[in-house]
Amino acid sequence: MLSPELGRFALALACSLAVAQFVLPLTGAWRRDPRLMATAPALAFGQLACLALSFVCLAAAAIGDDFSVANIAENSAIAKPLLYKITGIWGNHEGSILLWSLILALCGGAVAWFGRTLPSTLQARVLGVLGGTAAGFELFCLFTSNPFDRVWPAPVDGHGMNPLLQDPGLAFHPPILYAGYVGFAVPFAFAVAALMEGRVDAAWGRWVRPWAVAAWCFLTCGIALGSWWSYYVLGWGGYWFWDPVENASLLPWLTGTALVHSAIVVEKREALKVWTVLLAIGTFSLSLSGTFLVRSGILNSVHSFANDPTRGVFILGLLALVIGSALLLFAIRAPKLSAGGTFAPLSREGALVMNNILLCAICAVVLTGTMYPPFASLLFGSAISVGKPFFDATAAPMALPLLAAMAIGPMLPWKRAQLAPVLARLWWAGLLAGIVGLAAARGLKGVLPIVAFVLGVWVIAASAASLLQRIGHRRGTAFRDSLHRARMLPRAVFGAALAHAGAGVTVIGLAAMSDASHAIVAVHTGDSVQLAGYRWTLTGLADAAGPNYRARVATIEVRRHDHLVTVLHPSRRDFASQNQTTSEVAIHTNGMADLYAVLGDEHDSGPGKDNEHTAILRLHYNPLAPWMWLGALIMAIGGALSLSDRRVRVGAPRRARNAVAVPAE
């Protein structure tokens, strides 16, 4: 029933519907033909249904071990656990492009469903642009990355999945990350539609922002999950390596964060319109280019992906069409958009402009560092690599003023502000940051981490201060009054404060990690090592068997002042079918620090001494490491909270409309 051929047919049908979704509504909006415009939601739903069917077919082939499908044969095996048979669908190029298309279709379906209150021409144009983009990706899937290709002769068992991908964290990483990447297609489509309409107003800002916030939440979680994965799976003891693939997700996050903020200015003050439209186009363009760079093999990365120039040429053509036509439209129409409200440099708008400038400057620096090596290689024929020191040295100094301003910005009034009264309300936050910072300074090495730590505390304290100010809590206010005001406060206010505090938590974690210590030691069973005030003892080495691998497990007892803190079991796994070995890191966390152990190679000490093994251990002490990802989670929760605000929800005016009897159109 659910054959690969049916899946391929459904994919082709989805592609045809996407083309129709591109042509009919846009023609309708142009000719002011309501019947043509009305086709858009139905086509979006149809495209979504077809892609869902196609995805189910691939899932059926993966679960049913159909190794006559090349994609399954290369990435699956009979012995693989069921969960990874399912998540393995997107663990490879072909499947992940199908997932990408499915999420894009989901976005279209969501706009069709939640956007029923949009003006009909705007909705038709947004869905038309989404349809065109989807058609491009579905064509890419059909022509160069068909996940349903058969292989002959079919192998008896599959090659198996890359063992590094056989991990729950990474299994759910792509859907979340893609939801973030692809989610920015909606603000992009809104931007292009607005350029076609020739009008950007407060209502436009109000429609765009929830979509941007939702995509931003997913992207934040996706990036954090990726960083967490590289921390506990790769076993290098670090969390961010400025790898091109990591940068590819950071770039749209930076511009997306700027977009989420600048859309507020459009919504509240009708200013920064042209800039916001450009950010919406730019953010999705960076999402697309990231995919392109990773998939085409132009960038050198530790992440292995198919290195195929043919695919690269196809994606490049797709990029040229999507980004090129959007930017061309921008060049033609943007100068005609009316300019908005004026404001003094020191104001809420001014603070948001500064946020935008700094975020985009960081983005430009990271983009330069990422793109310089391939372009230097192309232009000058020299192989160079831009590493962590460059990014750390350039991005950090711009992140610090961003943090400093982030605390003050939300307290400034619109249009024109004065700094003194705001600082007067924040004195205790500054004092707290100073005291905590000085306390931390004794433990931290280097000026930059200390400044970052202080600013992290400052951001959290100032977020709390801004909430207290909004609920009018000061000496003399009755607690009941404050509680009442807190209940009446829009959830978006809490969301923003929470997101800012989350950024502070992440920064504190990053700063503290500069004080991490590690040791690489060769030890016999029974030997002890001192690290960061802990006594680490290797008490045993043993063999174990897993479902599709053999494991070597070490037992390490960690004591502090002769008191047993934890027993760690790092291991090494041999996957025979792929000739690959992975390290399973052992991590013990108490929330304030991670104890982290990796088992390396083992050597015989000499002839005739069978039990005189030495094992290489890598031991890390990572202070406040969990805070980095906790902060990202708090940021995403803050975003979700502000999405749940009734005023922000796109469907909010619906109740009013439904209350009035709607005559037949």
Partner 1 sequence: MMPPGSLLSRRRVLTIAPLAGAAAVGVGFWAMLAGMGRGSFDPHDIHAPALNRQVPPFALPDQAPGHGFSSADLGAATAPLLVNFFASWCIPCVIEAPLLISLKGRLPVWGIAYKDRPDDAAGFVTRTGSPYARLAADRPGLTAIDWGVSGVPESFLIRPGGTIAWHTAGPLTQEIIDRQVLPLAAELRR
Whole-number minimum distance, CB 299 to partner 1, in Å? Answer: 7
SS (H, E, C) 247-295: HHHHHHHHHHHHHHHHHHHHHHHCCCHHHHHHHHHHHHHHHHHHHHHHH
Q: How far apart are CA 8 and CA 132, in angstroms?
A: 20
Which amino acid belongs to residue 50?
C
SS (H, E, C) 108-139: HHHHHHHHHHCCHHHHHHHHHHHHHHHHHHHH
Nearer to partner 1, 374 or 490 (CB): 374
Whole-number minimum distance, CB 45 to partner 1, in Å? Answer: 33
Nearer to partner 1, 394 or 578 (CB): 578
Whole-number minimum distance, CB 449 to partner 1, in Å? Answer: 31
Which amino acid belongs to residue 117?
T
Whole-number minimum distance, CB 184 to partner 1, in Å? Answer: 16
Handedness of CA 183, 185, 188, 194 (dihedral sign): negative
Burial class (CB in 10 A: 0-12, 13-18, 19+), 202: middle
Nearer to partner 1, 85 or 173 (CB): 85
Q: How far apart are CA 164 and CA 152, in angstroms?
A: 28
Nearer to partner 1, 62 or 274 (CB): 274
Whole-number minimum distance, CB 578 to partner 1, in Å? Answer: 7
Q: How far apart are CA 157 and CA 73, in angstroms?
A: 7
Question: Cβ atoms within 10 A of the Cβ of 388, count?
Answer: 13
Nearer to partner 1, 23 or 306 (CB): 306
**What dihedral angle (degrees, nearest 10) is formed by the CA atoms of 423, 424, 426, 428?**
140
Nearer to partner 1, 86 or 331 (CB): 331
Q: How far apart are CA 472 and CA 484, in angstroms?
A: 10
Query: Which residue's entry shows tokens 């202070």?
Result: 623
Whole-number minimum distance, CB 330 to partner 1, in Å? Answer: 6
Peptide bond before residue 153 is cis, with ω within 30 degrees of 0: yes
The first and second tokens of residue 94, run together, are: 């072909």
Whole-number minimum distance, CB 282 to partner 1, in Å? Answer: 7
Q: Distances from the Cα of 495 to the Cαs of 111, 191, 309, 325, in angstroms?
A: 23, 25, 44, 35
Nearer to partner 1, 376 or 448 (CB): 376
Nearer to partner 1, 88 or 570 (CB): 88
347 Ramachandran zone, left/alpha/beta (phi>0; psi -120 to 50): beta
- Residue 519 phi/psi, 5° resolution? -145, 140
Nearer to partner 1, 156 or 661 (CB): 156
Nearer to partner 1, 169 or 374 (CB): 374
Nearer to partner 1, 102 or 165 (CB): 165
H or E segment to which residue 87 belongs = helix 82-87
Reported residue count of the chain is: 665
Whole-number minimum distance, CB 377 to partner 1, in Å? Answer: 6
- Residue 619 phi/psi, 5° resolution? -115, 135
- The DSSP 8-state label assigned to residue 412 in this structure reads S
What is the β-pairing status of strands 534-545 and 563-568? unpaired
Q: Are 132 and 108 in contact (CB under 8 A)?
A: no
Nearer to partner 1, 74 or 392 (CB): 74
* Residue ranges in contact with partner 1 by CB under 8 A: 70, 73-74, 151, 153, 155, 159, 274, 278, 281-282, 285, 292, 296-300, 307-310, 312-313, 316, 319-320, 323-324, 327-328, 330-331, 334-335, 371, 373-375, 377-378, 383, 385, 577-579
Give the N- to C-terminal CA distance of the chain in Å, as an integer: 42
* Residues in a beta bridge with 584: 571
Nearer to partner 1, 308 or 557 (CB): 308
Whole-number minimum distance, CB 28 to partner 1, in Å? Answer: 27
Whole-number minimum distance, CB 26 to partner 1, in Å? Answer: 21
Nearer to partner 1, 528 or 580 (CB): 580
Nearest 5°: CA angle at 203, between 198 and 207?
Answer: 100
Whole-number minimum distance, CB 316 to partner 1, in Å? Answer: 5
Q: Are 171 and 165 in contact (CB under 8 A)?
A: yes
Whole-number minimum distance, CB 186 to partner 1, in Å? Answer: 20
Nearer to partner 1, 151 or 616 (CB): 151
Nearer to partner 1, 300 or 418 (CB): 300
Whole-number minimum distance, CB 342 to partner 1, in Å? Answer: 16
Burial class (CB in 10 A: 0-12, 13-18, 19+), 345: exposed
The first and second tokens of residue 117, run together, are: 């209150």
Whole-number minimum distance, CB 354 to partner 1, in Å? Answer: 19
Whole-number minimum distance, CB 577 to partner 1, in Å? Answer: 6
Within 8 A by CB and 6+ apart from 482, the residues are 471, 472, 473
Whole-number minimum distance, CB 57 to partner 1, in Å? Answer: 21
Nearest 5°: CA angle at 433, between 429 and 437?
Answer: 175
